[in-house]
Structures are given as C-alpha cells and as structure tokens.
Amino acid sequence: MLGAKEGETKPIPSQENSPARAVTQEWTSQDAWAVYQLPFNDLLFRSQSVHREHFDPNRVQLSRLLNIKTGGCPEDCGYCSQSSHHSTAVAASKLMEVEKIVAEARKAKESGATRYCMGAAWRNPKPRDMDAIVEIVGAVKQLGLETCMTLGMLDRGQADRLSAAGLDYYNHNIDTSERYYPSVISTRTFADRLDTLSHVHEAGMKVCCGGILGMGESEQDRVDMLVTLSNLPKAPESVPINMLIPIAGTPMAKAPPIGPIEFVRIVALARIMMPASFVRLSAGRSAMTDEMQALCFFAGANSIFVGDTLLTAGNPQDEADRKLFRRLGLEAL
C-alpha cells in the first residue's frame, strides 16, 4: 500500500464507518487523507458502496441555475467574473423582475428540473431587496419546484425571513480550506462564511455548500475543505463540487487545471464523508469528457446543473446531457 514500509501492510481505514454511522462521524484531517489516498479502485468501490446505501445509483437530480442579478459584486473572489474588482466582460444589472424569473422557472420545470437555484451577485442582500426576494421564493414554489438561493452573506433575521417564505435550500460555498482561503478572497473571512451557514441551519433551511477545485490549492486543502463541511453541526444536505472555469480578467485565469483522477477522488471522498448528502457536479462539466463524468457518477455524484449557462459560464447543452444519460442508463430523479 502507498506509504507502507517494505514488508509492512498498511491497513485500510476502518470499514466500521458504515454509511449509517458515517452520518454522525467526526472526521479528522488525518483520517480523511488516509481514505483519499486509497488505491483508486478501492476508493471508488467504497464510495459506490456507500452511495448505494443511501441513493438509487442510477438516478440523478436535475437542477437549473438562474442569475437573477448579475455583476457589480464588491467581493474580490479570485475566480469570479462578477466581481467589480476584476476586468471582465460582465456588466452589472439590476435584480430581475419576478415575472421573468417565474417564466424561466416554468421552462426549467418543463425541461425536467426539480430544483431551481437563483443567484444574485451581492455581498449580502440589502433590506430593500428582501421583499422582492421573498416574493420570488413564493412564486417559484407555487410551480412545485424545490427552491434554492445564493445571495451572499446572511444575518439571522434575513435567514429567518427566507425560511418563513418557504426557501428550501440556501447556497453559500466555503470554496476551499481555511488555510488556503486568504489566497482566494480578502473581502470576507472564512469565519464569515461559517456564520452564514450557521444562520441558515438555525433558521431551519437546508444547507447547500461545497467548493471549487483547481484554484492552485493543494490536495490536502481539498481534503480539509471536506473535513470542515462534514464536521458542521449537520453536514450540508447538498454539496456542489465545482471545477474552476478560468475566466479572462480574473486573478485565477491561468491557474493550472486539476487532473481528472484527482477531481474524481474528491467526489468519492465527499460521498464517503457525507453519505446522505446530494453531491453535485457543478461548474466545469463543459470541460469534462463523458468518461470523466461517468467516473464521477460512479464515485457518488448524483446531482447536476442542466441548461447551457451557469451564472456567466458555459454548461453542456441539454441534448448532450440526455445523450450521456442514455449511454450510462441514468434517469432523472
């Protein structure tokens, strides 16, 4: 085994961490790293076994994402095209009208999506924005869609209002490990991220939280990001795993890409560490081969974004996804 001395057998991390037990397991960085370093076939066998304990392995959740307010964000996230700190081609816009959002949500449902995610390029919602946001949540829910929003940081009062409006999920990614975080963002702290997640959880909404791979972080940073997520008071119900889309004009435009095997390893580890969560292939699928996506599904990913645009970046066309699903024998959840 890797890391074992000659003639010595290094034990595989205990299989006593069965899926049911793993839901409440507290992970250490050392334990997670040991699982991450398993031989690839062993890692995928374990993650697929965990996946089958909690989900139908041949069904994938389809979500659609709409940018309801684009650009002009005061945060300096090094990967983001919507930051006002970067010279990109994205112009700032006002919050989209409710009627247009509902029309887009209706089209998403007709195309097979069951979850509708809405993002606004804000540091945090202003008091003047909340009435409109609450109206949007109610209107989209009336269509029978599961709702999710990502609006930046929230205080507890804002979280309570969104929960009372019926918002199902709130997305707020931690992006990377606490150690590497200052290399990505300087305008808000890692603790700020965790505070918002706490407000969302305490308000009774489900948490959608993951990160981005390929920003120059180490493999240990990727593992430690998952350790942080899995050790929250409750693991996020939804864990998006993004592959960086390099965007001209951002500080990370020339970041070295993550290798496919390393990406799949993180998907598998996320499934093992958070067995009851949806693990979503998010940004970056347009750069993945069908074979890489197939490995991710086998590793435990069971949610994708459909539609040709994710916020301001490209995404596979619906027909490409339908063709891939047919090839793999997958069905929409």
- Residues noted as catalytic: 73, 77, 80, 117, 148, 208, 280
Structure tokens at 216: 């120059």
Buried b (16+ CB within 10 A) or exposed e, 119-155: bbbbebbeeebbebbbebbeebbeeebbbbbbbbbbe
Strand partners of residue 305: 63
